[in-house]
């Protein structure tokens, strides 16, 4: 329908060649008179009007007009994707059409089958699972390996969309997968196709199986639920240093709200850890002078752990030695049964259906897709790896939004560390917009997706093999130990990623985490408003390839 004002008569006359053939007795101005009539310039009969500016479509039926409108919108959507206006509408691939080389003959067409490819990968060195040219991605390496192995023809090697490539779960930069699935059309006549694909892949990506599926199968839409694991050293649940901004703020609000006794009770099992650690610092560095060490300890509690230490300054050297002693003590820390139970209780708060708009990006509270269902959240008994105690956290949910799991882990850490009641987590499911710390990507890995409903249907009809990772458990366990767990442990040992994460949050002097104090959300209301630009992400959490609101899987 025209966007012109129906009361305004066009000043121009339609071109003669655009006008409909007229009878000799017809007045040449009839169409112009109709354009100013109460019909709003639509013209007569089934026509779509005859305005001279060409914005209406004369002699076009309504259904034909609507079909053209829909087609134009589709073209506009594709154009906007290529212009970078809407990355969520369609995956950009930037693949160019392939031309036959000189002397190359067109290959024989071979039948393609819809399949599910069962894979594992270590995400280190990759910008995530999803194709993201020109950046290195898991799907990019897989697609190239399919082409090299002959599972995708040369004619289709220029565009993954031609093979109907779909991923079950999208993983972010640096995130690993012990089990993931992609579905697409492959040429699988060759009985040695899997070894050939693996030979074309780096060792940190493995294909375990290629399973024929139903023709309409999509691993994303037919996945019932997903399981993730998050590995975290137990020392991240220690309280902040007493001289840090966060510790002082929690103490002040506990006094102000008359909650100091309860606050101290919630931290009782670790009340002596920091005093004992600081005493060890004094004992080991006593030759440098007690006063200097005491002042350096206070300064360390306020220092940003991500800033480099200047080796030319004596005070900086002292600060470096203090950090080394503290890191050694954290490595030796063993979580108490009381604190472990509080950690488990914190994660249990997520079980059920809740609104997670505070745990992702670009969602509103009223957005129906922000509601997610968590089936279980379990914390296994601690294990000692290279002298450090680690906790393995397992979450099972229907689907997860971008950063949701890392933010759930992040707020569970902060609630336990600050002596905050674990019920505060439930308050974060409400409409109040808050900042939630995003735990490092280092410890996160996709365990495996589940296809229970699909497997039940095909087992009854006896059409296809079920999609089940338990068949490859031995191989996957070996792969996890060699390429995933070892990478996580080695990186934390050398870079102290988790220690830096919590220490950075402890010295943030903004108001964004005041809701973790005894005053709760009331502390945010009383605090001065903080501009969004002042909220800085913790180290290692800046992501330069985030797609707003996109599904993680």
The answer to whether the beta carbons of residues 488 and 443 sit under 8 Å apart is yes
Give the tokens for residue 148.
């090299």
Question: What is the phi/psi pair of residue 18, to 5°?
Answer: -85, -15
477's enclosing H/E stretch is: helix 473-479
The closest of 418, 425, 441 to 498, measured between CA atoms, is 441
210's enclosing H/E stretch is: strand 205-212
Full DSSP string of 150-167: TSS-GGGTT-GGGGT-EE
> Is 228 annotated as a binding-site member?
yes
The answer to whether the beta carbons of residues 496 and 234 sit under 8 Å apart is no
* End-to-end C-alpha distance for the chain, whole angstroms: 41
Whose tokens are 């565009």? That residue is: 159
Catalytic residue among 172, 259, 278, 506: 172
Buried-exposed string 276-305: b where 16+ CB fall within 10 A, e elsewhere:
ebbeebeeebeeeeeeebeebbeebbebeb
User: 360 to each of 226, 275, 365, 370, 404, how far by Cα in Å?
Assistant: 18, 37, 11, 8, 5
The answer to whether the beta carbons of residues 245 and 509 sit under 8 Å apart is yes
- Give the Cα separation of 513 and 519 in Å (integer): 11
The answer to whether the beta carbons of residues 393 and 409 sit under 8 Å apart is yes
Q: Quick check: is 172 catalytic?
A: yes
The helix/strand count (H/E) of the chain reads as: 17, 10
Residue numbers in the known binding site are 228
Which sequence positions are flagged as catalytic? 172
Residue numbers in the known binding site for substrate are 228
């Amino acid at each position: 329908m025209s966007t012109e004002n129906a009361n305004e008569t066009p000043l121009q006359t339609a071109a003669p060649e655009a006008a409909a053939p007229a009878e000799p007795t017809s007045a040449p101005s009839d169409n112009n008179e109709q354009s100013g009539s109460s019909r709003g310039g639509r013209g007569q009969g089934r026509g779509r009007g005859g305005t001279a500016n060409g914005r209406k479509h004369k002699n076009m039926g309504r259904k034909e007009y609507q079909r053209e409108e829909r087609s134009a919108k589709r073209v506009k959507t594709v154009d906007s994707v290529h212009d970078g206006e809407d990355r969520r509408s369609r995956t950009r691939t930037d693949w160019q059409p392939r031309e036959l080389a000189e002397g190359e003959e067109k290959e024989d067409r071979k039948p393609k089958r819809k399949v599910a490819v069962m894979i594992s990968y270590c995400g280190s060195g990759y910008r995530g699972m999803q194709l993201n040219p020109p950046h290195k991605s898991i799907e990019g390496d897989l697609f190239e390996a399919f082409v090299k192995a002959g599972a995708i023809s040369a004619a289709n090697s220029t565009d993954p969309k031609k093979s109907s490539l779909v991923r079950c779960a999208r993983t972010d930069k640096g995130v690993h997968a012990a089990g993931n699935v992609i579905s697409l059309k492959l040429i699988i006549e060759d009985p040695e196709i899997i070894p050939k694909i693996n030979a074309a892949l780096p060792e940190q990506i493995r294909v375990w199986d290629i399973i024929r599926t139903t023709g309409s199968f999509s691993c994303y839409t037919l996945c019932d639920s997903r399981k993730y694991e998050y590995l975290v050293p137990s020392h991240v649940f220690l309280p902040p240093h007493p001289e840090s901004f966060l510790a002082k703020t929690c103490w002040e609000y506990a006094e102000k709200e008359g909650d100091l006794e309860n606050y101290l009770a919630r931290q009782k099992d670790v009340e002596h850890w920091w005093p004992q650690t600081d005493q060890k610092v004094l004992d080991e560095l006593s030759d440098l002078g007690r006063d200097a060490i005491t002042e350096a300890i206070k300064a360390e509690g306020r220092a940003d752990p991500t800033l480099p230490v200047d080796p030319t300054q004596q005070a900086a050297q002292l600060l470096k030695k203090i950090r080394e002693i503290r890191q050694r003590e954290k490595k030796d820390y063993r979580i108490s049964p009381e604190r472990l139970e509080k950690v488990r209780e914190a994660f249990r708060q997520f079980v059920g259906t809740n609104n997670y708009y505070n745990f992702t990006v670009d969602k509103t509270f009223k957005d129906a897709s922000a509601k997610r269902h968590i089936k279980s959240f379990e914390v296994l008994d601690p294990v000692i790896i290279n002298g450090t105690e680690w906790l393995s956290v397992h979450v099972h949910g229907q689907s997860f939004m971008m950063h949701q799991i890392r933010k759930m882990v992040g707020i569970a850490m902060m609630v336990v560390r600050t002596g905050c009641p674990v019920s505060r987590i439930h308050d974060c499911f409400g409409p109040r917009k808050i900042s939630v710390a995003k735990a490092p990507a280092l410890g996160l890995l996709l365990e495996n997706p589940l296809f229970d409903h699909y497997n039940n249907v095909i087992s009854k009809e006896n059409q296809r093999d079920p999609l089940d990772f338990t068949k490859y458990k031995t191989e996957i366990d070996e792969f996890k130990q060699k390429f995933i767990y070892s990478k996580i442990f080695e990186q934390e040992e050398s870079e102290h990623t988790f220690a830096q994460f919590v220490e950075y949050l402890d010295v943030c002097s903004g108001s964004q985490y005041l809701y973790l104090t005894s005053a709760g959300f009331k502390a945010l209301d009383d605090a001065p408003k903080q501009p969004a630009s002042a909220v800085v992400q913790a180290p290692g959490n800046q992501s330069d390839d985030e797609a707003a609101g996109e599904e993680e899987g």
